[in-house]
Structure 1
Amino acid sequence: MAKQLVPIDELQLGSYVTGVASQTGDVVIKHAGWVRSELLIATLKQKGVSAVFIDPEQQLPPPKELPAAPAESVTPVVKPRTDFMQECARTELTLQSTRQQTAVTFEKMAQADNVDLTQPSQNCDKLLESSSRNPQALLYLQQVLQEDDALLRHAIRCACLMAAFCQTLQLPEATAQQYTLAALLHDAGKAQLKQLFPQEQPTDLAALPYSLALLEQSACTAEVLETVSGHLAPLAEQSGGAPLLAIVNRYANLQELVEQNKLSGPQLSAQLLKSAGQSLDARLTQQFLLGIGLYPPGSAVRLKSGKLALVLENHPKYADKPKVKLFYHSVHRHHLPAKVLDLAKLPEEQIVGAADLSEFALDLRQYF
């Protein structure tokens, strides 16, 4: 087997890594394998790997871009990000409006009434506009969303995640709007089932036929129907926006488990990747996680100093150097004055990993 030393900054997708050449941590590569995602490279960097050995003879060809953009689409103009805090304040109002309108929509659908989708569509447009200004704000707000109604919480969370996902993939505006609307309304059938059977907890699969019937009755587009109808189907049968909604829906469901302390943040990503190539499209799953970030906005991390912090906004270039807000010291076991740090400007302070707040009997929701 040929062996070539490659600095971690020069490691490319498709490289066949055989071992770690140099590092400041203790990473051990038990099995040789291909680098199939930027997320893996970012993780190796974060763990202190500075160089690896690869076998150049087993280099994979360049991956195909997914999903393919329509021939008539044009390359979007990259706009500068708006200020994170300003965008959060602006988008919070949008989420309040979306929450109120979606509650009304679900109530009407529960009564099997015809629903005008103009307002929900406009709300989705606003979410996409926010995502184009700064997708980190949407990712943060869906994570910290305070909503007692589980159906509403899941619907809004999925719409936010889908809007950010569409921005990551740079999809055409019209397509992104339809996919985001599908994400917002994909569980509409649960509202009707809860009305019919208040003592039961409807599953996604049981609610799907009801959702499709209600969406057809509301004269939604074929694109929305295709996205909703296929998101629970086997991977080979998913088409249109269904592969994207399958990922978004699965991620949002796993988030619920994290909030119930049944799953940790790192386990969430691991669970999602476990489904990649099976029920979820592998490359799209990697793209989604890249957009979410190594440390998703709204998650808790432990710093080298022992301080715990809430991730606010990921750096557009350095996955391991987000902006964070301090709130607790894990060594001295006391709260800290809230302070925002830009880790990209503080080389002496680094993230050592995700923080398990149950170890300190802390509730992350208190620090948003």
Structure 2
Amino acid sequence: MLKKINVADLRRNMFIHELCGSWMEHPFWRASFLLKDHKDLQILRTCGITEVWIDTEKGLDVAAGQAKEEAEQEINLELDRADDGPVQAQVPLADEVRVAARIVARSKAAVSSMFQEARMGKALNADDAIPLVEEISSSVYRNPGAIVSLVRLKNKDEYTYMHSVAVCALMVALARQLGLNETDTREAGLAGLLHDVGKMMIPDAVLNKPGKLTDDEFTLIKSHPEEGHKLLLEGRNISHSTLDVCLHHHEKVDGSGYPHHLKSEEITLFAKMGAVCDVYDAITSNRPYKAGWDPAESLRKMAEWAKGHFDEPIFQTFVKSVGIYPIGSLVRLESGRLGVVVDQGENSLLTPKVRTFFSTRSGVYIKPELIDLSRPAARDKIVGREDAEKWGIKNVERMWMMPA
């Protein structure tokens, strides 16, 4: 049963069905949740929201006849007794992949529709995108590797839409690694989702051209940040951060980027984050004019560009968020086996979980084996990344997506 109550009557273990007011008035990236954390309770009581809808079938009800003063005393006692509570355990990758696959399918359809409407002149409303950002964010919190890896497997025909979903997920994962609060994490995700909306103003023949662009075509492509910024200015409930990332995600810290040639100290945190996430997804994805690079190789190349292109602390944090050997990377072990990274290790970026399936010594496929390199019993280690083409291996992705 749904009930509308005053925030003064809220208690822990009530289920928030809806916060009354615009999402911009409160700091929560999700609209409905079980109120378990006493810090969230304090935030709700002080953020300016006066009323909320609760679902009494999913959480506690308001005590019958309870006076406001008694309710507040009970809340204060709860706050005095409460601690931060346990950190939610991460969902196994194999379980989250199934959920993430459905989110990706819905996201593709939603972003495609949203962008096509923008192309036809309909004003964008950020509120329409928030549920999508919440779904993507929830998946990232359960296991960031699942959705981040799935969106990388887009085909070249759906690149523009799925790239936006991918950058949204990468921005949320990076924000989480940076320790940003819920408000900023949601802002980062929304900015990532809308950062490339300006490409709707670029003809498909230029966007998807398989050959080399002419100078005029390249100039047209470079206009998409400003075109997107114009679209968002005409929209509703578009935050400053989203506008900024859209306009400045192609700026470089050495001032050689576009459209305004901003230098390091002139580029905002979110725009620096957007630059890293945008490039990573672009170079790991199949495009009309080139095949995507291996995730680990992509990070190696980005590290070479880092000093002039990216903010180094942001880039280093990004590597932590995806792993030195991201999920899907083909690696060679000291034993001579090839394997694909299927999950990150708990304690070290150098010891992920790897599914081996090929012997470089005999040049043949072997029975797949899942190895957790963080365990002493593994007695093996990664000695480097490998090129699948060198060994005639196709469809590396099927190895990390296969059931445990």
Counterpart CA distance in 1 for 2:117 and 2:85 is: 38
Task: Report Cα offsets for 1:267-326 as digits up to 9, x if no partner.
Answer: 422332233342311111111112211211111111222222111111121222211223
CA contact (8 A) 1:302 1:353 kept: yes
What is the letter of the counterpart of residue 228 of structure 1? C
Q: For residue 177 of structure 1, what is the aligned residue in structure 2? A: 186
2:224 alignment counterpart: 207
Query: How far did 1:333 drift?
Result: 2.1
The answer for the alignment partner of 2:266 in structure 1 is 237
CA shift, 1:349, in A, is 2.4
**1:308 alignment partner, SS class:** strand
**SS of structure 2 residue aligned to 1:340:** strand
Amino acid aligned to 1:312: V
**1:222 is the counterpart of 2:240:** yes
Among 272, 275, 289, the alignment partner of 1:246 is 275
Compute the displacement of 1:94 (Å): 1.1
RMSD across aligned positions (CA):
3.0
* Contact 1:135/1:167, CA 8 A, preserved across alignment: no
Letter paired with 1:222 = H
Alignment partner of 1:269 is 2:299:
yes
SS at 2:281's partner residue?
A: helix
- Summarize deviations over 1:203-236 as a string: whole Å, max 9, x none: 5522111111112222211221122222223333
Aligned residues: 297
Residue 156 (structure 1) aligned with residue 165 (structure 2): yes
Alignment partner for residue 123 of structure 2, among 108, 114, 127? 114
Deviations 1:74-130 (A, max 9, x none): x99743212221112112211111111001011111112123333422111111122
Matched, 1:323 2:332: no
What is the match of residue 149 of structure 2?
140
Assess if the C-alpha contact under 8 Å between 2:104 and 2:147 holds in 1: no
Tell me which of 353, 364, 380 is aligned to 1:349. Answer: 380
Q: Percent identity?
A: 20
Which structure has the bigger radius of gyration?
A: 2
Q: In 2 relative to 1, CA 146–194 (structure 1 residues): closer, same or farther, beyond 3 Å?
A: same
1:116 aligned partner, one-letter code:
N
Q: 1:340 to 1:260 in 2, by over 3 A?
A: farther
The residue number in structure 1 matching 2:57 is none
SS at match of 1:336: strand
Distance in 1 separating the partners of 2:112 and 2:286: 23
Q: In structure 2, what is the Cα distance between the partners aligned to 1:141 and 1:264? A: 14
Give the TM-score normalised by structure 2: 0.66
Structure 1 residue 240: Cα displacement: 4.3
Could you list the runs of 5+ residues in structure 2 that have no partner in the other structure? Answer: 1-45, 48-83, 252-261
Aligned amino acid, residue 303 of structure 1: L
Q: Secondary structure in 1 aligned to 2:379?
A: coil
Mapped partners of 1:313, 1:306: distance in 2:
20
Structure 1 unaligned segments of length 5 or more: list them: 1-71
CA contact (8 A) 1:158 1:248 kept: yes
**Structure possessing the higher relative contact order (Cα contacts under 8 Å, 6 or more residues apart):** 1
1:303 aligned residue: 333
Whether the 8 Å CA contact 2:284–2:294 is kept in 1: the answer is no
Task: Give 1:281's aligned amino acid.
Answer: D
The amino acid of 2:276's aligned partner reads: I
Cα deviation 1:325-348 (Å, max 9, x = unaligned)? 233222222223444222223432
SS at match of 1:149: helix
Asked if residue 126 in structure 1 is aligned to residue 126 in structure 2, the reply is no
Cα deviation for residue 263 of structure 1 reads 5.1
Counterpart Cα distance in 2 of 1:255 and 1:262 = 4
Structure-2 change in CA distance of 1:83 and 1:147 (3 Å): farther
When residues 183 and 335 of structure 1 are mapped into structure 2, their CA distance, relative to the original with a 3 A threshold, is same
**Per-residue deviation, 1:192:** 2.3
Q: 1:144 to 1:349 in 2, by over 3 A?
A: farther
Instruction: Identify which of 197, 203, 208 aligns with 1:194.
Output: 203
Pairing 1:96–2:105 present: yes
Provide closer, same or farther for how the CA distance between residues 100 and 265 of structure 1 changes in structure 2, counting only shifts above 3 A.
closer
CA distance in 1, matches of 2:181, 2:156: 31
- The structure-2 alpha-carbon separation of the partners of 1:333 and 1:181, relative to structure 1 and needing over 3 Å to count, comes to same
Q: Which residue of 1 is the match for residue 321 of structure 2?
A: 291
TM-aligned CA distance change 1:316 to 1:162, over 3 Å: same
Match of 1:166 among 175, 178, 193: 175
> What is the aligned partner in structure 1 of residue 392 from structure 2?
361
